[in-house]
Structures are given as C-alpha cells and as structure tokens.
Copies of this chain bind each other. A is one copy, B any other.
Amino acid sequence: MLGHADRLAHAGLVPVVTGIATRRLGSWLDPDGIDLAAALEATGRGTWLVDASGSRSGTSEDFIDLVSADVLVETTILDRVAGEPATTHVRRALQRGMDVVTTNKGPIACHGQALRALARERGRELRFESTVMDGCPVFSLVERTMPAVRIEGIRGILNSTSNYVTSRMRSGDSLAAALDDARRIGVAEADASNDLDGWDATMKLCCLANVLMEADLAPEAVSREDWREAPPGADGAWRQVALAERHADGTLDASVRWRPLRGDDVLAPFDGLSTAVSLRTDLLGEVTIGIRDPGTDQTAYGIVGDLVAVAQARITRARLREET
C-alpha cells in the first residue's frame, strides 16, 4: 500500500513549491524549494514570509514575473464583477509560459473563452476542477471519459450553503439558525447573500456551460432568483437549482431558481453540503455525478488532480520536444 506522495509520484507528480504569495503576509521565493513546514509555521503565527534573499517581494504580479515555476496555482478570492485579480494572474502566468491551476470561478466564468484560447495558443494547460463541485471531477469527467459526447443540458445543485440551509429547514430549523450553523462550520460568510441570492451558483453555472457546452454565457445573462423571491412556503422543500438548457434552435436558457425537487429526482438525495450535476447528453443519455458533504480536503484534492494532469501534459510535451 503506497502513501499519498508515492501515489502522486507514480502518477507523474513530484511537487516542489518555489514560491508562495499571500494577501497579507508577503511572499516567499526560493527556486530550490521552500521549506513548507517553516512557511506554515510562519503564516500560522501571522508573521511575514521573507524570501530566500531576505527581501519582501512586491505585488502579486511582480511575484508571477519573478517566480521560477512551471505551474501557477491561483487561489485568490472571487470578485464576481470583474473576475479580478485572478484573471490578470492567470493571463500573466500563461503569457510567461506557465501552466495554470485555478480554484477561482471568476476567470473561467467571465473570461473563460479568451483564457482557454490563450492557453491553447501558448501550448499550456489551464485547469480549474475545484471551481465547481469542490474537486469532484465534472470538467475532467466530460473531457477525459466522454469523448465525442455533446452536452445538451446541465442541471445541478451547485451551492453548498444554500443546500445546507434548506436541508436544515426541512428538519424544522429556522433560516437564521441554519445560517448561524453554516457560518460556524465555515461554509457561509457573514454576508450569505452571495450564496442565497444565487451568485455563487450563477458563476459556477457559467463555468460549466461555457466549458462543457461551448456556450458564451455571461453571469448577467443567467436568470437568477434571490432568496426574497423564493416562493411562499419556501420552507426547505425548495432547493436552489441551476439549469442550462440548449434548445433545438441553438439558443441557451440559463437560470438559478428555487424549485421543489421530487423525492425520486436524482439530485434530491444530495442534501446538506453535497453538490451534484446531471448532464443531459446526446450519446450517453442522462449521467449524474455527485459528491457527499465535501469539505476543504476535497477542494484541495481538486488542485492535486489538476496538478497531476498538468504534470502528465508536461511529460508528453517534453517527449514531443525530444522528437523534434
């Protein structure tokens, strides 16, 4: 029985961290590899990271220009209007010839087509499995296991906080009590409107539709119901359901709405923090994938899975370069 590191090495990934940039605690660059235990200890104490040369580096963009790395892992916080600063980070890293893994929905939802085109043009990988469904494979599922399949519709429970809150309300709790608990366990922010008003699900739906259905869907084009618009009697039987449907004439309808789910709906059992997506396809019928109560470990695994894919792509690229 192999340990995690051995299994990753077997899959082609032997990670070395050569730079860390934080929002509040500076950054650390070391082309020979950072001592991660020391970095964790420093950030745990709240002290500034100081790079190997003893100097503090500047902006995150300076960091991307300075770091000696094959891959950028982008995990900044979402700004839903502009998708910044993540989009700038992703673009700059691709332009510098790095592969990119991001957990940030903004770049993919708002600028996915342009960034993916840039990655193709530069011959680099841009991967983002953790942006939706907390690391449960959905982009990779379609890309790597359903060749030549066309996705005609997507229906999903994409926002854990809303799903958790309505699950608790079905058990008789009040919205306020459910939200308090969601905050206590770290899944809801102080202002939960991003979740309850469907913004989070909207951004995720844009990522899914734009990548899996080759759509060009902007967040503003998604018909969105916020919590105040939930129908009377929205006591938890209603769920926040994201839907993208391609019609016969090629047009796309996309919505995030409060809907009742029948007990025999394949999405219904994915309650609490769970997320799930049903894909309506031309060749494979309706395929559903879901993950039960994922947490930060699963989101982190999404990064790891993406890094393995990047490592394998780099191995292939290296072999092809040897050829020529």
Contacts and interface: CB of A to CB of B under 8 A. Distances in A.
A8 B144 contact: no
B266 A284 contact: no
Contacts of A46: none
Number of copies of chain A assembled together: 2
Interface of A: 4, 7-8, 10-11, 13, 135-137, 140-141, 144-150, 263-266, 268-271, 276, 283-295, 297-298, 301, 304-305, 308-309, 316, 319-320, 322-323
A148 B11 contact: yes
Contact of A287 (B7, B291, B316): B291
A149 B11 CA distance: 11
- Pick the most buried of A263, A301, A319, A320: most chain B CB atoms within 10 A of its CB: A301
B287 A293 contact: no
Nearest to A139: B145
7 contacts: A137-B141, A146-B305, A147-B308, A265-B269, A285-B297, A286-B293, A288-B288
A202 to B, nearest CB: 24
Contacts of A298: 283-285
B8 A148 contact: yes
A7 B148 contact: yes
A309 B301 CA distance: 25
